A and B are shown apart, each in its own frame.
Chain A
Amino acid sequence: MASAAIYSLFIINKSGGLIYYKDYGSAGRTDTNDSLRLASLWHSMHAISQQLSPTPGCAGIDLLQADNFDLHCFQSLTGTKFFAVCETGAQNIEVLLKVIYELYTDFVLKNPFYEMEMPIRCELFDLNLAQVIQKDRVALLGR
């Protein structure tokens, strides 16, 4: 079981622009253009799903299940979306996304050199994110 549960991670701002992208699996590597397209596509789908939903007060798609992957999405109150493409049936991704959101609030939003809604280039965020993903991997292997 060499591959981790999570394949890739996206963070998109409230207007659908990709502000962070990270690849983790060797399979399914996407180039920059594809990841940008995927990010804005997901943003629109998420918005449409809110309007199409038969239940009132729907916040959008949380989980998309496909044959070969699961896509978990977490939307913060300000509209920033965190979504991860994972192995099918991967557990605890919602928790992981919330932890990543926490890292974002700490190491991106409290950084005076970060401009809101712009691509994230923060060394500390990268460092701590790598640690969290690594920990998640270890926990997964231990299971």
Chain B
Amino acid sequence: MIGVGKAKQYANVLDKPLSRGRQEVSLSAFAFLFSELVQYNQTQVDNIAELERRLEDAGYAVGARVLELLCHREKGNRRENRLLDILLFIHSTVWKVLFGKVADSLERGTEHEDEYMISEKELLVNRFISVPKDMGAFNCGAFVAGIVRGVLENAGFPAVVTAHFVPIEGQQRPRTTILIKFAEEVLQREARFG
């Protein structure tokens, strides 16, 4: 780590203040690393669903850690326990730390009560990626879906999270929608909360 030599030595790791973070990393470095992650996983699978699952698992680990870190750093060791609050936490706090901006939109599904959508016009991980036609609807946003699932599940909101391309009228590029479908128990608990 850069500058580690100059850091003040603390006897106990817990006395050390948690780094403020917020430093930006090079987008290129990230893009190459992510590209390698996708390529590596591609060599390990023989179908697209499996690739999607592996990317999601990789994201899940990130989500679990991000939740832990941000609850401590941003929320003073408090964790959201209401459905809308945790969604807003992902939409703004998590997105800002990971992607430098708030997500474009957070909506509730029109057809199902238990579905929510986070949409992004140009998802950062997809910035340089063109999915070949023969891969169908595969979306590398599966990684981000995994992050969202990681945050939700570790906060006590089990859900199925998937990433989809949604075409927008008058635009050549589709946007990416992260679809969140909560487990039944989450909604039941939410109803009891009133």
Q: Chain B 96-140, CB within 8 Å of chain A: the 1/0 string?
A: 000000000000000000000000000000001111100100001
Q: Which residues of B contact A121 (CB under 8 A)?
A: 132
Q: Are A107 and B131 in contact (CB under 8 A)?
A: no
Q: Which residues of A contact B173 (CB under 8 A)?
A: 127
Count chain B residues whose beta carbon lies closer than 8 angstroms to a beta carbon of A: 19
Q: Are A113 and B32 in contact (CB under 8 A)?
A: no
Closest to A122 in B: B130
Q: Are A112 and B39 in contact (CB under 8 A)?
A: yes
Q: Is residue B92 within 8 Å, beta carbon to beta carbon, of the partner chain? A: no
Q: Is residue B12 within 8 Å, beta carbon to beta carbon, of the partner chain? A: no
Given contacts A127-B172, A127-B173, contact A110 B31 (CB under 8 A): yes
A12→B182 CA distance, assembly (Å):
50
Closest to B134 in A: A113
* Residue ranges of B at the interface with A (Cβ–Cβ < 8 Å): 28, 31-32, 34-39, 42, 128-132, 135, 140, 172-173
A110→B125 CA distance, assembly (Å):
11
A106→B28 CA distance, assembly (Å):
8
Given contacts A107-B130, A123-B130, contact A112 B42 (CB under 8 A): yes
Q: Which residues of A contact B128 (CB under 8 A)?
A: 106-107, 110-111, 124
Q: Which residues of B contact A123 (CB under 8 A)?
A: 130
Given A110-B32, A125-B130, A127-B173, list of 6 further CB < 8 A pairs?
A: A106-B128, A112-B38, A112-B39, A113-B38, A122-B130, A127-B172
The residues in A between 92 and 143 inclusive whose CB is less than 8 angstroms from any CB of B are 106-107, 110-113, 121-125, 127
Q: Which residues of A contact B135 (CB under 8 A)?
A: 113
Given contacts A127-B172, A127-B173, contact A112 B35 (CB under 8 A): yes
Q: Are B39 and A110 in contact (CB under 8 A)?
A: no
A124→B38 CA distance, assembly (Å):
18
A111→B140 CA distance, assembly (Å):
11
Residue of B28, B35, B36, B129 with most chain A CB atoms under a 10 A cut-off? B129
A107→B172 CA distance, assembly (Å):
16
B42 to chain A, nearest CB (A): 7
Q: Which residues of A contact B132 (CB under 8 A)?
A: 113, 121
Q: Which residues of B contact A110 (CB under 8 A)?
A: 28, 31-32, 35, 128-129
Residue of B36, B38, B132 with most chain A CB atoms under a 10 A cut-off? B132
Q: Which residues of B contact A124 (CB under 8 A)?
A: 128-130
Q: Are A111 and B129 in contact (CB under 8 A)?
A: yes
Q: Are B35 and A111 in contact (CB under 8 A)?
A: yes
Q: Are B129 and A113 in contact (CB under 8 A)?
A: yes
Q: Which residues of A contact B28 (CB under 8 A)?
A: 110
Q: Which residues of A contact B172 (CB under 8 A)?
A: 127
Residue of A111, A112, A113, A125 with most chain B CB atoms under a 10 A cut-off? A112
